A and B are shown apart, each in its own frame.
Chain A
Amino acid sequence: MTFVRTVARLTMMALAAAVFIGLITLYAHSFGPPSPRERERRNSEPQLKSLPTLLQQYLVFGAIALAGRKILRLRLTLR
Chain B
Amino acid sequence: MKVPPPRLKFTFSLNLVLLLTVCALEQIPFTGAILHEWLGLTFAAMIVVHLLLSWTWIAAQSKRVFPIQSARALMNYLLNLSLFAAVTTSIYSGITISQEAIPSITKTTRPVLYHGSAWVSIHDQSSNFVIALAALHLALNWDWSVAAGRTIFRRLKAGAP
Q: Are A72 and B72 in contact (CB under 8 A)?
A: yes
- Total B residues in contact with A, Cβ cutoff 8 Å: 52
- Verify if B55 is at the interface (C-beta below 8 Å from A): yes
Q: Are A66 and B139 in contact (CB under 8 A)?
A: yes
Q: Which residue of A lies closest to B76 (CB)?
A: A72
- Majority SS at the chain A contact face: helix
Binding site for B on A (CB under 8 A): 6, 9-10, 13, 16-17, 20-21, 24, 27-29, 31, 34-36, 38-40, 42-48, 50-51, 53-54, 57-58, 60-62, 64-69, 72, 75-79
Stretch among B1-9, B128-136, B148-156 lining the A interface: B128-136
A52 to B82, CA, bound (A): 29
Q: Are B114 and A34 in contact (CB under 8 A)?
A: yes
Q: Are B136 and A68 in contact (CB under 8 A)?
A: yes
Q: Are B30 and A46 in contact (CB under 8 A)?
A: yes
- Verify if B78 is at the interface (C-beta below 8 Å from A): no
Known A57-B23, A77-B70; contact A68-B32, beta-carbon cutoff 8 A: no
A52 to chain B, nearest CB (A): 9
| Number of interchain pairs (Cβ within 8 Å) | 139
Binding site for A on B (CB under 8 A): 19, 22-24, 26-36, 48, 51-52, 55, 68, 70-72, 75, 84-85, 88-89, 92-93, 99-100, 112-122, 131-132, 134-136, 138-140, 142
Known A13-B48, A77-B70; contact A44-B131, beta-carbon cutoff 8 A: no
- Majority SS at the chain B contact face: helix
A residues near B36, Cβ cutoff 8 Å: 42
Contact among B72, B92, B100, B113 with A24 in the assembled complex (CB-CB below 8 Å): B92
B58 to chain A, nearest CB (A): 9
B111 to chain A, nearest CB (A): 10
Q: Are B118 and A34 in contact (CB under 8 A)?
A: yes
Q: Are B29 and A40 in contact (CB under 8 A)?
A: no
Q: Which residue of B lies closest to A77 (CB)?
A: B70
Q: Which residue of A lies closest to B24 (CB)?
A: A54
Q: Are B114 and A38 in contact (CB under 8 A)?
A: yes
